[in-house]
Amino acid sequence: MAQFHIRFGWWILDRRQLSHDILNYIERLRVMHDLAREQDYSVIKKEELLSDLAETVRLLEAKLKDLAQ
């Protein structure tokens, strides 16, 4: 029984971490959106932003799939 509780606890913590990661990726996308909307590439260059976008979308999709399982 104790082992079940420990495993269930870890499962809850894993899902919380997944949610946290997903929300951070969404926030990252929001920042990217603002930079792209303003076409502000003074700090983050356009190529870097587009590369970050592709990577973040990939990670977001993977995490969302994990969460949905």
Partner 1 sequence: MDKIICLGKNYLEHAHEMREETPDKPVLFIKPPSVLIEPKENGSVLLPWGRGAIHHECEVVFKLYKKNIIGLGLGLDLTLRDLQKTLKEKGHPWEISKTFKNSAIVTPIKGLRDFPKDWQDTPFSLRINGELRQEGCLSQARMKADEIIHYINEFFPLQDGDLVFTGTPKGVGPLQVGDVVELTYGPISHSFRLVDLG
Task: Give the footprint of partner 1 on this chain (CB under 8 A).
Answer: 24, 27-28, 30-31, 35, 38, 40, 42-44, 52
Sign of CA dihedral 64, 66, 67, 69: positive
Please, what is the minimum distance in Å from the beta carbon of residue 46 to partner 1?
Answer: 13
Q: Of 43 and 68, which has the nearer Cβ to partner 1?
A: 43
**Within 10 A of 14 (CB to CB), how many other CB atoms are there?**
12
Please, what is the minimum distance in Å from the beta carbon of residue 20 to partner 1?
Answer: 9
Q: Of 11 and 40, which has the nearer Cβ to partner 1?
A: 40
Please, what is the minimum distance in Å from the beta carbon of residue 41 to partner 1?
Answer: 9
Q: How far from each other are the two terminal CA atoms of the chain, in whole angstroms? A: 24
What element of type H or E holds 29? Answer: helix 2-37
